[in-house]
Structures are given as structure tokens and as C-alpha cells.
């Protein structure tokens, strides 16, 4: 199976993984609106042994099967004030 990765034109560090060739009409309308114009990043083969940064290959394969996509959101911002307060006791 081939997987295509698209970057969001509206949200920084937001990526959408879809089976290749991508069919954006199958995505929920609210997701399409929030994601904006998809910008293709890469297409790659899902094969055993491939390492991904934020998700395992079996998890990604499950998402691509149902619901048919995987949305990768950026991690929440660090709360530096909270960390500082905790370090002060």
C-alpha cells in the first residue's frame, strides 16, 4: 500500500496521511475546511520495518483502513511557567 502525506496550508505542523492516490472527497467536511489546501509532502510505501516519527506502522495502517486517514497534529506547547513553578517547589 502506498501512503501520501500532505501538509496543511492553514495550520503549522499539521499533516494528513492518506492512501495513495488520495481522495479528499472521502474526508469529513469540517476536516477539509480546517485543513485548508493540502500541500503534498511525499508518497511512500508502507512496508515492514519502516520507522515513522509519531505513529507505528500497524497503527497507521489501521487508520488508513478505517476511517481512511490519519491526522497528525502538533504537540501542545510547553507550559514553561508551570515547569518553572514546579521546579521552585
Task: Please choose, from the candidates 78, 79, 75, the residue with its C-alpha nearest in 3D space to the C-alpha of residue 15.
Answer: 75
How far is the C-alpha of 89 from the C-alpha of 71, rounded, in Å? 38
Residue ranges per structural domain of the chain: 2-88
59 is written with which cell numbers?
A: 497503527
User: What is the phi/psi pair of residue 85, to 5°?
Assistant: -60, -40
- In the chain, DSSP assigns E strands to 2-7, 15-19, 39-45, 70-72
Predicted local distance difference test score (pLDDT) of residue 81:
86
Beta-bridge partners for 45:
2
For 2-88, CATH number?
3.10.510.20
Predicted local distance difference test score (pLDDT) of residue 71:
96
What pTM value is reported for the model?
A: 0.82
- Find how far residue 42's CA is from the centre of its chain: 13
Q: Give mean pLDDT in consecutive 10-residue pieces for the chain, a chain of 89 residues.
A: 95 96 94 95 90 90 95 88 84
Amino acid at each position: 500500500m502506498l501512503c501520501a502525506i500532505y501538509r496543511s496550508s492553514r495550520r503549522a505542523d499539521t499533516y494528513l496521511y492518506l492512501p495513495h492516490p488520495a481522495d479528499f472527497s472521502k474526508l469529513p467536511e469540517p476536516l477539509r475546511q480546517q485543513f485548508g489546501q493540502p500541500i503534498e509532502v511525499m508518497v511512500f510505501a508502507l512496508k515492514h520495518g519502516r520507522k515513522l516519527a509519531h505513529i507505528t506502522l500497524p497503527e497507521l495502517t489501521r487508520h488508513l483502513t478505517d476511517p481512511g486517514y490519519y491526522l497528525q497534529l502538533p504537540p501542545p506547547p510547553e507550559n514553561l511557567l508551570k515547569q518553572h513553578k514546579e521546579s521552585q517547589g
